[in-house]
Amino acid sequence: MLDVLKVRIYPNKEQEISLVKSFGCSRFVWNFYLNKTNAQYEETGKGMTYCQMAKDLTQLKKLADYEWLQEPTAAVLQQSLKNLESAFKNFFAKRTGFPKFKSKHSKQSIRFPESCSIKDGVLKLPKLGIVKASLSKSVDGKIKSVTVSKTSTDKYFAAILFEVGDLRNTKKGRISGIDLGLTSLITVFDGETCYKVDPIKPTRKYAKRLRIRQKALSRKVKGSNNRRKAVKVVAKVHEKISNTRQDFLHKLSRKLVDDNQVIVAENICVKGLARTKLARVIHDAGFGMLLNFISYKLDREGGKFVQVDRFFPSSKLCSCCGHKNDLLNLSIREWVCSSCQTTHDRDENASRNLRAEGIRILSTNTVGHTEIQACGETVRLVGTCTKKRVSQMQESPATPLCG
């Protein structure tokens, strides 16, 4: 299997110049052939394949006006064409939007698909030589590729993709259900205890600092050196917010993965929630990022990550008797079951129901909609967000867990 290690690198002046040229050439190749593919599609109804673009690029570099394309290694430019072809395939498969033209003012990146190595704690890259790097751990497997990126704050990073041995499924731990929310970021129930973790809200924490920097930026003359400096200052605040959020979510996901063998969560639609009036808070919480961190860390350690369908009424079901409260709305945080008279905390009850549904899914190896009258209704299943299917059979109810 493959693993990735992202490290910060410190190129010298000559290496920085070489990287800037490689960034520019890679960006030019992407934009040039994106425009050429669009023009050819409008004329003939067919775009360009990678082989056609690579063949045309070879002839393009021989022209006098484009000799500067020969400065970076050829594999970097070819990788840019492969990325463009993948972008078109993802677009036609409805996995993402149409490919966009790249700007020199945004994040820059290139990929070295070969001839990369690590020796004595330093990174060696084609045409750059030895580059100083901060390696947090050793890379023992074969290096498949290295992606070098430059942030808007002029920091350089290298994402090293390398091979590692297959992990055995020897992880042991509990089965926990986690409910995501805004008041409490997650509510965790592991079968015995239930606890909550509050969000850190980094955007609100650095809102005053960001507002001051943005006001200073708005007073600068466009195109001036002072404006370019002010842009970098604002970018540093945004980077601080992003790093704070990622650090917190990495530590939280690590704790959850260390304590559990199976984690059950709801397959929420983050894009849909981001279109509501709570969009700012949703993005600041980082729901999608947290679920992604939990998923890949569990995969690495042989655990399992189960996602329950977003239409499963985890908050409305009583975790003791299974009674469904259809009158429950978002403003009600505590409610009493009319059937068994049990008082429920909304988030804790949801985490209990999610855990129970996750256990049912694992035991039956199916994905269903517990206690939803899905017969004949149009419902969306996990992993089929772009298509809708009609259920042909009644789903069986779950066995509730009392806690």
190, 284, 309, 347: the catalytic one is 347
- DSSP-assigned beta bridge partners for residue 287: none
307 to 159, 263, 287, 324, 353: CA distances (angstroms): 28, 8, 13, 21, 13
CA gap 395, 403 in Å, rounded: 24
Concerning whether 345 is annotated as a catalytic residue, the answer is no
Nearest to 76, CA basis, from 148, 4, 150: 148
Concerning whether 266 is annotated as a catalytic residue, the answer is yes
99 to 35, 93, 95, 137, 149: CA distances (angstroms): 10, 13, 12, 35, 19
* Enclosing H/E stretch for 188: strand 186-189
CA 156 to chain centre: 20
Concerning whether 179 is annotated as a catalytic residue, the answer is yes
- DSSP-assigned beta bridge partners for residue 69: none
85, 179, 190, 309: the catalytic one is 179
Other Cβ atoms closer than 10 A to 27: 19
190, 266, 357, 371: the catalytic one is 266
CA gap 302, 172 in Å, rounded: 9
Nearest to 186, CA basis, from 322, 92, 69, 289: 289
Is 176 within 8 Å of 265 (Cβ atoms)? Answer: no
Sequence-distant (6+) residues with CB within 8 A of 229 are none
SS3 263: strand
Is 19 within 8 Å of 109 (Cβ atoms)? Answer: no
Nearest to 66, CA basis, from 28, 123, 22: 28
CA gap 91, 41 in Å, rounded: 15
* Enclosing H/E stretch for 278: none
CA gap 161, 140 in Å, rounded: 11
Catalytic residue numbers? 179, 266, 347
